[in-house]
Structure 1
């Protein structure tokens, strides 16, 4: 790893079986420091097992994983000092206040009572929970509990944070706040490994997206790279309903009779063409007395990418381990 920064995560041939079931099958993954990597995959694909191995919670059967250069098996204690792990449900005491919960985490991490209280107050302020700081957790809303859970994972300011479905069940406003929190953490140098069931979340936050299916890494790249890999963008034309049949004929003359064209409700969707040829198509439509009301160009969605790669409509993150 000489000659450049040490990756936050690096795995080689990482594998894990449960009986005859191969949960993770030879995954090679490198996550640069200071980035967000989203992990997607169908239910049972191996995502959670992979994360648990990197986080030292499950021992690999084969292969190697390292966090900032520290081996997750041989140097597990060092790895644990570098990571924060946020699950789907808050690992805190329902009867204690938010401030007390955070202070306890601080004391468990070796801070003095005063230091733990100070850090608790910092985190309550950072996550907009100061006014609720003296309220028992059992009276918190779902969104407040998720924010407190994330705050608890940051008591030690870990350089690597594992987020398992951080916005599940949140309302749109709180979800947007959580997204901004993740961006702020990365801006300050934290690396984030994110598992999510929301494809738009991966599209919005991730520098890279990896897709795991049947225990194997089947896709790896930026959102744009993955979208480009499954096909071209789509050109959508909106025309008056009476012009639709004529418009279809023009498009077929322009692109060929075999061009995939779908039409309905005054809209015509065709494979995207070179930008230089778009004016030619519009002129051809005008010359055929077709009024073009709207032109839009759309890349394939991440949903379409996921379906093309795995055959599943949406990822489901929860899985047996």
Structure 2
């Protein structure tokens, strides 16, 4: 999945020409790593014994396999990094990739996330955590972030990869720019391994850090792609965090959860939603929160219900909030 997504990104950015591959790095995140390989190999060990365990198992399950394969595929010899921070993994991956460019360590970073955790053991565990929606008779309506009747997320899988490049370096190459990553923040709730902190204090810290990094005022943000998992506690905490950070401006913001349409890509979610933010800025089209039928009186922001909205926005913020209390926020500006 990571190589497939990176193939599209590298081709679009024309990284096969005019770059010093010693100064191109890779940062592909994952939360679950090669979980399918672990399950299959464990079964093989039990059924056929240790001599039948593949010597390739180690390189199939390690979390940095995706970054390693992308580096290998194109001969990128810069830093090869992997962030493993649950649902915030690829937001951290993209944010830290930008930091490497700002430090002058590299000119280009291929950054994103890949996840494939739809295996019985993961589904069972998430279900027993009461994290998954029970709306099995209407799967297309199961993910309903911020709706009064939300009851959990729909797990999905996939990969999303961006190419981040130092602006002058990109201009010299004549590279096409879709937008600018201007802010990055990260924090932890330090509260609970699965439940968000009351009031969304950790998420608020992450957003404030991103705003400070970007050097902009809260009222310059026009759109937030929310973490919005469709769980009762997370959506409540994130809404409270947005109100805390943005004050009166919160009610003027457009806030949507595209997980209502994509499901929850776990460690790859942040990178996918970063791309969605950039395209929303480029196209002047704000994606909706679908399946928003019954407003929750506690959650009273503009969640762009059910239908995409035409709107020219200059700045967008993307939130990711993960298990272990980890948070990441990215801020993008239109080119």
- Please report the TM-score for the alignment, with normalisation by the length of structure 1: 0.24
Write 1 or 2 for the structure with the bigger share of strand. Answer: 1
